[in-house]
Amino acid sequence: MRSRVISRRSKYVSEFESQFAKYCGCKYGVATNSGTTALHLGAAAAGVKQGHDVIVPTFTMIATANAVVYQKATPVLVDSENESWNIDPTQVDHVCSKRTTAILLTHIYGHPANMDPIKRIAAQKGLMIIEDAAEAHGAEYKGRRAGSLGDLGCFSFYSNKIITTGEGGMVVTNSRRIYDRARQLVELSFGRGVSSRYIHSSVGFSYCMTGLQAAVGLAQMSMIDEFVEARRRHAALYNSLLDGTQGITTPPEMRWAKNGYWLYTALIDDEEYGLARDRLIEKLAEGGVETRPTFYPLHRQPALKELARKHGRYPVADLLSRNGINLPSGSGLTDKQIIYVCKLIKSFARK
């Protein structure tokens, strides 16, 4: 506030872009005003346009597909794999066509997707890889951080993310070409000369982050490792307390992954556990515990109903959506609170 420059021209915007990109293992960052606009900017900078198909997991937040639709391209849905709950690489190859230009994958709930087979397919077919890493700050695949695993990564800094600017997002990349295009599109792309100030060379988006948001982001960066490790400690405690509870599947962490545990997500088998997921949510709420269901898959979204008719069934995504529950996951949780949540969950289980 004392600097008197609180818009996108603030020095804190470029400092935040630089620090966060470096944290992810990338050369460049372009800050935006939300995670959704980061996804849209990323898709546009990657060259997605009308007439293109983009492969997207059906088990994800609708913003992932919206970024494709905004570019007048078509999301082509694939199911999740049982093991990591992420996009199933074995299905990606089957839905590729001459129209396919990119794979836009989500690192679901902080667990990275299985990248090697996806990268092989992308290399064989000349496809771009866009990471929806909105939930995956600090997550790693074989020692490399989410956001640096494809051609570009898109993050959210919404208030419930591991670090936050209230609202905000960022595109990170190691490609100078993608960075230059994203930088051109993120604002209304006007020239700097007197005569060219209001002459536009492209249709920009006005998606810039403010200096106020970036200053908050810089303060958050000083604690990002602490926040990630807090989530991992909380997940370990949840796992130990829920281990052996009949009808409960705890979240995965594959041997090649470091899960950031944005949300701690469990699956509830109603027959074995004794309560359906939605009834458990109600019972926990009665005990003062706020939870939420897992994402409603894209193929069941009313806004995207045409996609389901085109591409068939998605049994794993339907299972995750029907049985999944997100338990309290904030970095500020105490052990006492987690113990209380787990005690309640176990008290409702079939005896």
Question: How many angstroms separate the CA atoms of 40 and 169, rounded?
Answer: 11
Classify residue 44: in a domain, yes or no: yes
301 and 169 in a single domain? The answer is no
123 and 237 in a single domain? The answer is no
Burial of 244 (0-12, 13-18, 19+ CB in 10 A): exposed
Which tokens in the block code for residue 201?
């060379």
The label of the residue with tokens 């004794």 reads 274
Range of the domain at 279: 224-348
pLDDT tens track, the chain, 351 positions: 788 877 778 899 999 999 999 999 999 999 999 999 999 999 999 999 999 999 999 999 999 999 999 999 999 999 999 999 999 999 999 999 999 999 999 999 999 999 999 999 999 999 999 999 999 999 999 999 999 999 999 999 999 999 999 999 999 999 999 999 999 999 875 544 445 667 777 788 999 999 999 999 999 999 999 999 999 999 999 999 999 999 999 999 999 999 999 999 999 999 999 999 999 999 999 999 999 999 999 999 998 877 755 667 899 999 999 999 999 999 999 999 999 999 999 999 987
217 and 233 in a single domain? The answer is no
CATH number (domain holding residue 190): 3.40.640.10
Classify residue 146: in a domain, yes or no: yes
81 and 204 in a single domain? The answer is yes
Domain count, the chain: 2
CATH number (domain holding residue 290): 3.90.1150.10
Classify residue 2: in a domain, yes or no: no
The pairing of strands 28-32 and 169-173 is: antiparallel
The pairing of strands 292-293 and 324-327 is: antiparallel
200 and 235 in a single domain? The answer is no
Question: Would you report the helix, strand and coil content of the chain in percent, each value rounded to 5?
Answer: 40, 20, 40
Q: Pick from 187, 221, 255: which residue ends a domain? A: 221
